Amino acid sequence: MADFTFGWEFWIDTNDKMVYCSPSCERITGYKSEEFINNPMLLLNIIYPEDLKIFIRQKYMEAKAKEVNHGIQYRIITKNGDTRWISHECCPIYNVTGEFIGNRGSNKDITRRKKTEQLLRMSNQKYKLLSENISDGFLFIEIMNLSMSTKLYRIFWDMKKRTQWFKNNTFNFT
């Protein structure tokens, strides 16, 4: 059943040997499942160097806890050199007598989501810069709601104060 999952499923025993690795790892990493099984260091070797600490810390936490299912996100470098984002969840495995026998991991490629999030952050930053530095005012009118840029609010507020000042201070030019 696990051979047909979309996500990359694996089982690592108490000696850090990969006992099982689903074929979908090849779609995500470019490496075949046999390569992960035959090379226990391959999983660590493909993790983006800056993210390796995140993965190792999670692995340490998993070893200390009885039930862990906290997800982390980290980058990997695929066989052809591309960078991909991984959503990783892991939980301990126990045999029928309650003895710890390893961890079951589930990895999902979230690269497209991460790219979309980055584009959204950039778009929001551009909008914020634009709305804070625009010299002309603009309004967004929504049903039953009126919102305006900070600059436009200041313009209207200044006009209101000036109008009030002129009303309170009459001039006689005769």
Write the single-letter amino acid at 64: K
Q: What is the DSSP letter of 86?
A: E
Domains and CATH numbers, the chain: 2-114 (3.30.450.20), 123-168 (no CATH)
What pLDDT sits at residue 154? 62
Closest-CA residue to 51 (of 21, 27, 72): 72
Q: What is the pLDDT of residue 140?
A: 53
pTM above 0.85, yes or no: no
The rounded distance, in Å, linking the Cα atoms of 139 and 159 is 16
Tell me the per-residue pLDDT of 96-155, one tens digit each, with 9 for 90 and over.
999 989 889 999 999 999 999 999 989 888 888 877 776 655 555 554 445 555 555 566
Q: What is the pLDDT of residues 13-40, one digit of tens each?
A: 989 899 999 999 999 999 999 999 999 8
